[in-house]
Structure 1
């Protein structure tokens, strides 16, 4: 058996938290994964994706349809005579959905629709579903291989030696196609691996395992399998709040009546709110959706109604005189695959039309050679043909009510779901059952509600999402029990009833056995009165465990108890063994624990007699003894004796008993239909992978063929364009024309194209491009070159002006620096002379604490410091900056002059040396060096102003006021003041000055003003953004 997917605890599987109407995705640092909800119907396959940023969106098909027809076709390879060409190791083309059904008229034996009907059929051949399928699709070669436990289909698109395809493999192809569509919706690089799949309530263990196997082969992990009715219930509940039973309110009861293409089910659901324990001392209200009972009719559906219309068409067709004269029999008509596919398609259309109209007409041109057929069908005729089906409509509802022990008076509404429920006689019967139309509701999407419910469930199981907390539970559907041997006789013990819970609140059955040595038992499922085995359990260390208990604790065989925990899996709803123990009670207290245990006891934690905290979502534990039908329920296996001990403190305590247990190791083997062996499973996966590789190769080849064909038209237009005549010689054009004719001749030969591989097609394309692209490139260069050269020349002129400006500033700075050095030297000499003339006694008599006082700088004359009123005397540029700028300027200018001279010597049909991309590279060098120097100047000016502001001495209040007024006046009257104010802006974004061609080089003041304006805009943007963030 294939892995059933990730398993989660009951508390996680049933619940989730709602923020908003549908979903609020968790804000975590971990990567959130995508999950898929799948409604695998008989006729259509629907999928919904949940991904961060994509809440519950339908996965569209390749044709942008919201549902994909559940059909697959193999389109065989053919030779030049249109005969099927089957070669070893070669795969046909796969076609899905409506495109596959469109091939039924041509190759009916290679189209495989409605494969769900063949899934998980009993290996003993007791099912008549294969005969039903063959009657509907006579051209499909179906056979059941009992050894493999599955239905196999043979295709003529492969060689005879190729093994037939199992239904699981074919379904895996359809699921893989949906998976690819979902990943395309999720976005490039996304992977969709987890899914929740809906199945009918009547699915057996073999059918559920088969769908799990198909999903696994498709690369999907099945997180859960839920019934269609429960999925619709989840979709119904996700936007509603129900009466709270903890307040004494009455729950709601609804029946989901699902009539689809293949079957009909009725699911009775209970909807209620409930107050449960939350974190700490708080409570919270959760919604509960529980299935109480189900009923079904496996063969009542749209396809069976279609077959009634087909049979009517056949009978009327046989009344034609030409067929009577030929003696044509009904069996001959029904054995014709092409004819039956046409009748089936029009029968479905006629049934759908009659849902809204009273009559319809179907016409068939040459249904048989030279025989046309036209037939009229009224709604009255259709209803007379389906009287037997109408009587079966109420059956599933009655079964569901009986299972839940409720009556129709208890039901609030019947929720109609499925395509066939729109049939008029079906609604009439439902009104009859419900006692009128008041209880019939269409408040869910009749086509997509189940897939939305499945996607909601998938999101709830995923740790990447938070959704509304809805605790859901299903029912077993079939009774289950176990078979074992007792005293050499075969025994049976019921374990689960038809209505036993699956999911939230599911009970774990603790089954006690008398066996003290290794033994085996099996669990079965009762289907239609037949006990079908599900799993076999074989213990490994029971004998050793009993011996160990005897050796260590002196337990006798009579004191030893063997128990196994069995529950219904939350993943697939099948019985599973969750635990096995062998134990006995011994006297004496337990051994003293570790230091941590002592600390826990001192704090009141982890005491032996402390009752464990229960989880609201945990189900009860039921004790079952093999050989008895009674079961006792308990929430916990441990009891507290603190009450009795505290009340009788003076009475000597009896020796305490403790339970010593050893886990029993066991092996679980699936039973029922044979499961694929590991080597067979590997063969399936390898063959599917090879098929995928063949599809990719085919798509790549088709793409190469399309590109080559498109390019030949471009070359044809290229040769007729006179603009290219100057950049190419006649010899070049003749060579291109000759190769084009050869290529087009190849393209017009179907046999040559059919034999050509992707590599051959790409080589032909490369050969054409090798001749054509250089000519096109020369024309492109010739057209764009003059404009690019002119732009580069203008940039050189502007750079030259900038070089002169920088050189002037560097020279002025050098002169100013020289003057400052002379003045500083003079001041130093004067200060040294004054210091030498000072009386020595004054220095000796000075107080030791005089140096602690700060000098009074406010009275110091500023005439001693040199003043420079011209700002140009200070330059942020150094001689190194000037040298770098001049170097780039001269190199670019030299390069352009040399390349222009070389290009002038070349002819138009020769490859150019002055390329557009090279011109752009040289222009970027000029722009970069200018940006670097301007940025350097702006940084230094801002640092200089920041430094001068921080070094400004403190002054009195009056001087501050006077200074601020003077600064305000200066700021208002001069550009320098504005420049100073703007330069103090914090966190200003870097500004860039663009010099347009033809403009004069701006002055430094103009450049700084533009930069400051950009800073002000950046500050305003940042302030607005901060305000928005606060909101």
Structure 2
């Protein structure tokens, strides 16, 4: 085993090397009938609501197709592979007044709806009543509801409800990715669902998410999601320490439905790593109740019917003979009535009456009406009685009463309705139990995001063990001779998730067969899947042939559970086995000895853990061959000898059964059909991106045409252009504007076409603009360039003089050396002729030092030319600066002459950008030469300081202190000044840059007369800078000593 420190290091390395997909953001998505909300969880963004493009916290659940109209706006342009513009949320709803048949809203009730089922006609009837202009129908062959759009050709395949929902999900996904930041993908999601969702509805929702490019990690019921959000900041009594669990009922009343979820909240002490324990929070759904039609839309429908009734009573309506059908089948009118009904209902929650006004509801007919809260409650009195039904059902299933509840947690917009509040107070009999301690609009989506973060390996969240319920009873049925046998598996209250059980079902079948899984929806059974074995017959034959099994001893067993993903029953494994007798080695054989020697432990150590024991997770391996397990165990064996074999014992031979699963119920799309839908959606997305790019190009072109139009009003451009050039611009501008006024041509144009037209205008206009810009900026640039040219000439003159002086000094030194060579030879001969007084004696102290110095000085005086104290420019330096100067000066002279010959309307040859580049070249060569001088000066000053320091060591302490004090005062007095003279100046920063060999910015400052700084001024600056550095070094050394 690795030491703890190494194990921690290895874990850290593992986390750093996780693939990007495991570190991606996750999403909680609450898809309601009226609105869609999403919450993003990402490192650095904990539980943040995803905002819409309008910065709203929720998006209207609607998508619309905006057809492409002809230039006269009287017909719709369609074509193969052509897609209309899409709008989402409030932008889509805004189109209901003009094109109600192209707005698809409130799609949730149609997901997985089997309209052929008895009692399900109300789903389609309610949808058509609210959206009469939408072309919607149920296609049994496809197993889904489809929508026809006039924005496409008649031959276009209708859009399924799953595809339209996928568009809404994809829009939310894009908003989440925008919020997460560039490069962050959002794919993993947890979706909320009502507790009454059947297998068909769940599959339809999962298919919509898949088409949108989302990976569904799990489905969570609305009530459980609210419970998770409620529990995230709370700690509940520990039942392991005799604590009493809390019971809360979540009442969720939304736009379409009402659900009641009874939850148990408790803490529990469980085993943690090693010998430690930990306390976790548990949120368990005990039971649920619901009303599929009790929601805000049902109350809105009552108000709409009241509007229609009052509208028909107007005398003008009676005189025209207008009937209710003429209004109720008019999409534009109904969209206005439904929108106003929603507004009125919300107003009556806070006010006692509301007034609604409709202008031109019908041609030349206005409508105005008043609705009071009393009248509204009279119209909806039947709905008040229905509020108690879901609550009573949930309590009855768990055999509890209102007095057993700790609170009723209110969620959903309909909760705010006054008569519902009064009804709940009467039911609970204790108004204090009605709690608004969660966000009534966003609690469910926060709970979904919390579960998504818990399921993701990228996040560590508070450990809350949640458990949902199945919602419906389920089981299996299979043929048994001439009759059909049924076997129940799970009840409506069977747990899903934490605490879920796996059921083992035995069959007597010895040959391949099939059976069916079903859900009990009301009094009817709805098929879920058909399970067919593929190798049962062969496996039974193998047991007989290889192991001698008798047919009576063969048993076929399947294991079923409720899926943690969607809560539907599923088969997780199957096997056929038999009891047989065979001679097997007694436990404690040489195999066990080897295992014990290698550290695998005794056989007891390898036995399965008892219930409640924790086991370390390990990989799961798919087994395709048969496996044998013994029915008996014995003690360990001695590693030094074999044991005597025991008598034959019973054991179980097992072979895994392969099986296939075929979905039942509504027809599911094939792989080819799914690919077709994904391909079409991808093409629609590409069309949207191309349209946005085209619209941007169109806006840029339109703005540029307005700019060019104003361009001619500016007389400044007249001097830099000819009449012919201006006429060419004017002609092209007129042609472009005429083309843009043709809506049909613009509609058919591509981004490339628009950019080409913009480029054509710019080719004529930009040269004129460039000439004006160059003409205005050139004088100042030329002036600055000439100044730099003069400075370079001054420095070049200095370099020439120094090169000349150095050459002269070297010549004089050579003559001096020649005249003194004879004298030096005679002195050397005389010295060698004098005998030494004592060859073993060595000078000591100051005499020894003086002798050494004298000897060295004599030798160097006769061998080398004295080293200069300042840098002298070399012939190479002169070649460098003169070459650059001549090249730039020649270029400027020729270009300036050529420019002077040009007229203002001709393209310039002396460009400001070229002047800047040439000026930078001159500055660069000057910087190089001055930097050489500064580096030499710093090196020389450093050598002087080292020599002085060496001399100080041989002197007395008092002299050393006096010298240091004097030096410190001088450096403090001058360290911050710059050396300057009548000419230029050099800052200490320049010395530092030169010492470090950095090119850096130019630190040369010319004097008022344009002269370069003298060598003395350069040295002065360097010495002062050196004094500051020395002071810093002394301080540093002192600090080091103290350490």
Q: What is the match of residue 67 of structure 2?
A: 76
Q: What is the match of residue 973 of structure 1?
A: 970
Change (3 A) 1:929 1:29: farther
Q: What is the match of residue 916 of structure 1?
A: 912
**1:440 aligns to 2:434 (yes or no):** yes
Q: What is the match of residue 787 of structure 1?
A: 780
Q: What is the match of residue 409 of structure 2?
A: 415
Measured against aligned partners, the alpha-carbon deviations of 1:282-311 in whole angstroms (never above 9, x if no partner) come to: 333333222222211111100011001111
Q: What is the match of residue 14 of structure 1?
A: none
Query: Structure 2 residue aligned with 1:738, among 725, 731, 736?
Result: 731
**1:501 aligns to 2:495 (yes or no):** yes
**Alignment of structure 1 residues 859-1008 onto 2, 5 Å:** 861-865=852-856, 873=869, 875=871, 880=876, 883-929=879-925, 966-967=963-964, 969-974=966-971, 992-995=1001-1004, 1001=1012, 1003-1005=1017-1019
Contact 2:870–2:936, Cα closer than 8 Å, also in 1:
no
Query: Structure 1 residue aligned with 2:84, among 84, 87, 92?
Result: 92
Contact 2:112–2:201, Cα closer than 8 Å, also in 1:
yes
**Alignment of structure 1 residues 775-814 onto 2, 5 Å:** 775-800=768-793
**Alignment of structure 1 residues 369-448 onto 2, 5 Å:** 369-448=363-442
**1:107 aligns to 2:102 (yes or no):** no
Contact 1:123–1:145, Cα closer than 8 Å, also in 2:
no
C-alpha displacement of 1:376? 1.0
Q: What is the match of residue 55 of structure 1?
A: 46
Change (3 A) 1:903 1:119: same
d(CA) in 1 for partners of 2:827 and 2:570? 102
Q: What is the match of residue 58 of structure 2?
A: 67
Which structure has more RCO (C-alpha within 8 Å, separation ≥ 6)? 1
Q: What is the match of residue 448 of structure 2?
A: 454
d(CA) in 2 for partners of 1:374 and 1:365? 8
Q: What is the match of residue 345 of structure 1?
A: 339
Moved more, 483-492 or 448-457: 483-492
Contact 1:988–1:1018, Cα closer than 8 Å, also in 2:
no
Change (3 A) 1:959 1:47: farther
d(CA) in 1 for partners of 2:657 and 2:930? 80
Contact 2:36–2:61, Cα closer than 8 Å, also in 1:
yes
C-alpha displacement of 1:43? 0.4
C-alpha displacement of 1:362? 0.8
d(CA) in 1 for partners of 2:49 and 2:880? 62
Q: What is the match of residue 980 of structure 2?
A: none
d(CA) in 2 for partners of 1:745 and 1:835? 109
Contact 1:123–1:150, Cα closer than 8 Å, also in 2:
no
Measured against aligned partners, the alpha-carbon deviations of 1:222-253 in whole angstroms (never above 9, x if no partner) come to: 12221122222222222333333333322322
Query: Structure 2 residue aligned with 1:141, among 118, 122, 135?
Result: 135
d(CA) in 1 for partners of 2:1031 and 2:287? 69
d(CA) in 1 for partners of 2:931 and 2:115? 82
d(CA) in 2 for partners of 1:284 and 1:197? 30
Contact 2:934–2:994, Cα closer than 8 Å, also in 1:
no
Moved more, 152-161 or 882-891: 882-891
Contact 1:876–1:940, Cα closer than 8 Å, also in 2:
no
Q: What is the match of residue 537 of structure 2?
A: 543
Change (3 A) 1:950 1:510: farther
TM-score for the superposition, normalised by structure 1: 0.83
C-alpha displacement of 1:728? 0.5
For structure 2, the residue ranges without an aligned partner over 5 or more in a row are 1-14, 618-628, 977-987, 1037-1043
C-alpha displacement of 1:346? 0.7
d(CA) in 2 for partners of 1:526 and 1:324? 51
C-alpha displacement of 1:938? 7.5
Measured against aligned partners, the alpha-carbon deviations of 1:580-621 in whole angstroms (never above 9, x if no partner) come to: 3334456525897699955554556994336379676999xx
**1:664 aligns to 2:657 (yes or no):** yes
Contact 2:937–2:1018, Cα closer than 8 Å, also in 1:
no
Change (3 A) 1:508 1:718: same
Q: What is the match of residue 609 of structure 2?
A: 611
For structure 1, the residue ranges without an aligned partner over 5 or more in a row are 1-25, 620-636, 1023-1031
Query: Structure 2 residue aligned with 1:522, among 516, 520, 526?
Result: 516
Query: Structure 2 residue aligned with 1:207, among 174, 179, 201?
Result: 201
Q: Secondary structure at the match of 1:82?
A: coil
Contact 2:975–2:1024, Cα closer than 8 Å, also in 1:
no
Moved more, 100-109 or 781-790: 781-790
Query: Structure 2 residue aligned with 1:570, among 564, 575, 579?
Result: 564
Change (3 A) 1:607 1:370: same
d(CA) in 2 for partners of 1:954 and 1:543? 107
Which has the greater radius of gyration?
Answer: 2
d(CA) in 2 for partners of 1:484 and 1:876? 107
d(CA) in 1 for partners of 2:574 and 2:644? 38
Contact 1:946–1:984, Cα closer than 8 Å, also in 2:
no
Contact 2:454–2:460, Cα closer than 8 Å, also in 1:
yes
**Alignment of structure 1 residues 316-327 onto 2, 5 Å:** 316-327=310-321
Measured against aligned partners, the alpha-carbon deviations of 1:448-481 in whole angstroms (never above 9, x if no partner) come to: 2222222222223223333333222222112221
d(CA) in 2 for partners of 1:416 and 1:961? 90
Report the aligned-residue RMSD: 4.6
d(CA) in 2 for partners of 1:253 and 1:831? 118
C-alpha displacement of 1:416? 1.1
Q: What is the match of residue 113 of structure 2?
A: 121
Change (3 A) 1:315 1:935: farther
d(CA) in 1 for partners of 2:943 and 2:651? 80
Moved more, 552-561 or 85-94: 552-561
**1:678 aligns to 2:675 (yes or no):** no
Contact 2:148–2:158, Cα closer than 8 Å, also in 1:
yes
* Equivalenced residues, count: 969
Change (3 A) 1:132 1:972: same
Contact 2:359–2:365, Cα closer than 8 Å, also in 1:
yes
Change (3 A) 1:766 1:487: same
Moved more, 356-365 or 689-698: 689-698
Measured against aligned partners, the alpha-carbon deviations of 1:27-77 in whole angstroms (never above 9, x if no partner) come to: 777543222221101001112222333332222222222211111112222
Change (3 A) 1:907 1:118: same
C-alpha displacement of 1:946? 9.6
